Amino acid sequence: MSTATTSVTAESGTARRVGWVLSGLVGAFLLFDAVGKLLKIGPVEDSAAELGLPVHIIVPIGVVLLLCTVLYLVPRTAPLGAVLLTGYLGGAVLTNWRVEKPLFSTVLFAVYVGIAVWAGLYLRDRKVRELLPLRREG
């Protein structure tokens, strides 16, 4: 076994643990957001009104977010969950951009969450790393 292979094998356990921690943190944040929407708490209703969204769509948005997040947290369906969350978060970017929210702190926040979603999945799932290899040429 070569040194490069040994290094990758040794790091994969650490990468997997870091990936699960990152995925868990992102998942907890998204589950918290989904529950807030399902319960239609005041700040969620206020935010929806500020974004020009009708109150009656808050719960369905929460259901979609909850389902996508659960799919992401289950290892067997995690890639599907990550793809669906990417679409969901893209909608969040557009919704905030449409009402001219601050770019870096609000509009792009969903992009930051999406990066964390994929980083967590990449680190925890060997098949995703094989599908999307990050390597230096040279």
How do residues 8-36 score in pLDDT, each as one tens digit? Answer: 444 678 999 999 999 999 999 999 999 99
Q: Please name the amino acid found at residue 42.
A: G
- How many folded domains does the chain comprise? 1
Q: What is the pLDDT of residues 77-136, one digit of tens each?
A: 999 999 999 999 999 999 999 999 988 888 999 999 999 999 999 999 999 999 988 876
* Averaged pLDDT, 40-67: 96
- What letter does residue 65 receive in the DSSP assignment? H
Asked, for residue 138, whether it belongs to a domain, the answer is no
Cβ–Cβ < 8 Å for 120, 86: no
Asked, for residue 3, whether it belongs to a domain, the answer is no
Asked, for residue 2, whether it belongs to a domain, the answer is no
User: Given a cut of 70, is residue 4 above it in pLDDT?
Assistant: no
Asked, for residue 46, whether it belongs to a domain, the answer is yes
Q: Which of 31, 16, 23, 33 is nearest to 116 (CA)?
A: 23
* Alpha helix ranges (H) inside the chain: 3-38, 42-50, 58-73, 78-98, 109-124, 126-131
Residues spanned by the domain of 90: 8-130
Residue with tokens 């700040």: 43
pLDDT score, position 11 = 60
Asked, for residue 41, whether it belongs to a domain, the answer is yes
CA 79, CA 68: separation in Å to the nearest integer? Answer: 10
